[in-house]
Amino acid sequence: MKRGLVGAPRRRRSQVRVREADEELDRAVRAVVRAQLRLALTTCGLVAAVLVLLTATFALVPAVRAADVLGVPLPWVVLTIVVHPLWFALAWTHVRRCERLERRLPTLRSNGPP
């Protein structure tokens, strides 16, 4: 608030420097958000793909619906035993990739006003 007070040319110069530094920081943040978003969308896309594939297969291919695995209907096996571990694996992979990304991230510094 006091920043613009009269007779402080030194301060004004430092403000300009701050703005440039902030733009640099902003670019870095944008890159981080993009990288995180890419991971997130990949995972969401995989989830959607699994769901669409599963429902479509069961709906459009009657043979799959009727198939048996060790006397248990295939849809029951897939829907109760196979899919949940698949979700877990997807989530686990996502977390691993996120943490790797975040570990590699340089520390972002701001030279903004204190």
Q: Which parts of this chain interact with another protein (CB under 8 A)?
A: 1-2, 4-7, 9, 18, 22, 25-26, 29-30, 32-33, 36-37, 39-41, 43-44, 47, 50-52, 54-56, 58-60, 65-66, 71, 73, 75-76, 79-81, 83-85, 87-88, 90-92, 94-95, 98-99, 102, 105-114
The angle formed by the CA atoms of residues 47, 101 and 29, to the nearest 5 degrees, is 100
Q: How far apart are CA 77 and CA 66, in angstroms?
A: 12
Q: How far is the CB of 28 from another protein (least distance, A)?
A: 9
Residues 69/77, Cβ–Cβ less than 8 Å: yes
Structure tokens at 48: 């959607």
Q: How far is the CB of 13 from another protein (least distance, A)?
A: 14
Q: How far is the CB of 23 from another protein (least distance, A)?
A: 9
Which of 13, 79 has the CB closer to another protein?
79
Cβ partners under 8 Å of residue 109, min gap 6: 25
